[in-house]
Amino acid sequence: MDFEWSHLLQAKAPPLIGVDISSSAVKMVELGEAPKNKYRVERYAIEPLTRDAVVDGNVNNLDAVGECMRRAWKRLGTRIKNVALALPAAAVITKKIIVPTGLREDDLAVQVETEANQYIPFALDEVNLDFQVIGPAPSSPEESEVLIAASRKEKVEDRVAAAQAAGLRAVVMDVEPYATQIALEEVLRQLPEAGKDQTIAVIDTGASVMAVNVLRNGQSVYMRDQPFGGNQLTQDIQRHFNLSPEEAETAKRNGGLPETYEAEVLAPFRETLALEVARALQFFFTSTQFNEVHHILLAGGCAMVPGLEDTVVARTQVNTIIANPFVNMDLSGRIRPRQLAQDAPALLIACGLGLRRFDPS
């Protein structure tokens, strides 16, 4: 494979497409430059994945994922074949270390390997290892903080192979929470004082996992995954209306369910989801020194459940908004604004990966 694992946390990249491989879909976002230092959404696509092709962040069916990526790329209608991909947080071990400032690259690499040996429960020849200097250490200006990231080689190779099967070339491999945080910078600008000195809980609810990431001044202070997601709603629809899993999923996405759906199925699911959000905040408060959250950002496919914003506010008494990183971006003529607003919460990772081409670091 011609992919080199030197880009796990490295930002700079050629024109590329951000590609998020989730358990339910492949999502692609292509961003371009616009006047006044703005970005423009050139194209995006969401292509549903077959069931069990990706399970718990692992590529289970390489052919199915590769084929889905090929269909998404074709729907995108672009010529760009370079892609930025991301691994789920569970597949990556990250650790911050402190090193003397001014080390040469070779010496830094040796120190990183030495540190990594202590923290990584695998032989180093079984992992892809990368690092990035974050900046001066909080405790001493003569030392630097370095972020180490490591993943089992097969986790990386599965995603790279799926891209290759689709005729695409992986040039960047990131980690999903970091890609999300890049996109969230666009969302935070929509908050009072851009969220400065405020505690912000990002609740990203996909098909099977509610990923909780609490931020303060751009830094993650708490992360946790809860086993809950949109598959629960699919199962509720399936049981209530006696449908197959495929019929239930299609009905959930496209509508056409009986009038009783809203009151008997969707409303209880919405309440359960809001309760899970409240539980997530309680876990956060009991696990950290924090006792307040100023804003909740809802992301992921479940964020667009009608009425969820109000239900979460009622349950948590915390200001809640739907995360849309595209609000201040220009849109190309091929983008339908209303549809993009609907899809935006599910595109955070793909958007963050798409933004990698503009990051100079």
Can you spell out the DSSP letters for 258-327? -TTHIIIIIHHHHHHHHHHHHHHHHHHHHHSS-----EEEEESGGGGSTTHHHHHHHHH-SEEEE--TTT
Residues 45 and 168 occupy one common structural domain = yes
- pLDDT, one tens digit per residue, over 163-207 is 999 999 999 999 888 899 899 999 999 999 999 999 999 999 988
Check whether residue 45 and residue 55 sit in a common domain.
yes
Residues 48 and 184 reside in one and the same domain: yes
Beta strands of 158-257 (E only): which ranges? 169-175, 199-205, 210-216, 219-226
- Which of 101-110, 150-159, 164-173 has maximum average pLDDT? 164-173
Sheet holding 92-100, edge to edge: 92-100, 143-152, 127-136
Q: Is 237 exposed, middle or buried (0-12, 13-18, 19+ CB in 10 A)?
A: buried
The yes-or-no verdict on residue 96 having pLDDT over 90 is no
CATH number at residue 347: 3.30.420.40
Average pLDDT, the chain: 89
pLDDT at residue 2 is higher than 60: no
Please state, for a pLDDT cut of 70, what percent of the chain lies above it: 96
Q: What is the pLDDT of residue 3?
A: 42
Q: Are residues 27 and 108 in the same domain?
A: no
Instruction: Note whether 68 and 47 are within 8 A (CB).
Output: yes
Tell whether 200 and 182 lie within a shared domain: no
Q: Are residues 305 and 223 in the same domain?
A: yes
Q: Are residues 40 and 179 in the same domain?
A: yes
What's the domain range around 79? 1-91+153-190+327-361
pLDDT of residue 236: 95
Based on the fold, state whether residues 37 and 158 are members of the same structural domain.
yes
By percentage, how much of the chain surpasses pLDDT 90? 60
Neighbouring C-beta atoms of residue 70, cutoff 10 Å: 18
State which of 72-86, 129-143, 209-223, 233-247 shows the largest mean pLDDT: 72-86
Question: Looking at 152, 173, 201, which one is the last position of a domain?
Answer: 152
User: What pLDDT is stored for residue 166 in this prediction?
Assistant: 96
Q: What is the CATH number of the domain that holds 130?
A: 3.30.1490.300
Instruction: Find the mean pLDDT for residues 155-162.
Output: 92
Could you tell me if 25 and 4 lie in one domain? yes
